[in-house]
Amino acid sequence: MTSSLSPDKKGKAPDITRTNIADTTGASSSAGGFIKAIESGSKHLIIKRFTLRYPEQKLKFTGDGYQFDPKRGVGIAGYRGRHILFHDKCTGCQLCAIACEGIAEAIGMVKVDEQWKQNKKSIMPQIDFGKCVFCGLCVDACPFYALYMTNDYELSSFTKEHLIYTPSQLAVKPKYDGDVELKIDKMGATHG
């Protein structure tokens, strides 16, 4: 009994090339790949696509935005938009600025005029949204629930100076009025 890979009469091993290997497996793998490609393409023909007419239509988000619960040690899911600062909870510990230090360096601690009993240093975070990458590490680092992220994503401005939000600007809750709700099912996502 001889195999196709046994040495020839001169004792030399047969030359195995890519064409020899492709001859044995090429037909079945190319047919399988073709079927997968047709299946994937036809699936996307059935799914209904949609486009929102922004800014007339805005997507409605569920929840209040990304938050972190330090007691349970978990993040509460939500959209990572503009930050909101609660002055009555901020102690000026600078943990948010330290968390941002190696990533974006977008948070700087600034002196504020008003006095709060829990904030003896009278310093609070100021965020430069031109540098912020919206990672949420500053929210995770705050043990006093003073910093959250909201659903507000409309932060465009004409100058870089307008992207720097002072503690008093961060204290204002953004007005977001999304009117289009996203519905997700097996066939894809639609809006109503």
Is 39 part of any domain?
A: no
**Span 57-96, pLDDT tens digits:** 887 777 778 887 777 777 777 888 899 999 999 999 999 9
CA 92, CA 96: separation in Å to the nearest integer? 9
Whether residue 188 is predicted with pLDDT greater than 80 in this model: the reply is no
Structural domain including 73 reads 67-170
Average pLDDT, the chain: 81
Radius of gyration for the alpha carbons in the chain, expressed in angstroms and rounded: 29
Which CATH number is 156's domain given? 3.30.70.3270
Does 51 fall in a domain?
A: no
In a domain, 186, yes or no: no
Within-domain flag for 11:
no
Residue 66 and residue 79 in contact, taking contact as beta carbons nearer than 8 Å: yes
Worst-scoring range by mean pLDDT, 22-26, 140-144, 171-175?
A: 22-26
> Does residue 87 lie in a domain region?
yes
In a domain, 146, yes or no: yes
Distance separating alpha carbons of residues 77 and 75, to the nearest angstrom: 6
What does the pLDDT look like over 5-14, one tens digit per residue? Answer: 555 556 565 5
- Please report which helix (H) or strand (E) contains residue 38, including its range: helix 18-46
DSSP character string of 118-129:
TBTT-EEEEEET
CA nearest to 140, candidates 98, 182, 82, 87:
98
Q: Considering its fold, how many domains does the chain have in total?
A: 1
Q: Are 178 and 58 in contact (CB under 8 A)?
A: yes
- Is residue 74 assigned to a domain? yes
Nearest CA-CA partner of 109 in 120, 125, 93, 122: 125
Give 170-184 pLDDT, tens digit per residue: 999 887 777 777 776
Query: Domain for residue 49, yes or no?
Result: no
Largest interatomic CA distance in the chain: 97
| Distance from the first to the final alpha carbon of the chain | 71
What's phi and psi for 100, nearest 5 deg? -85, -15
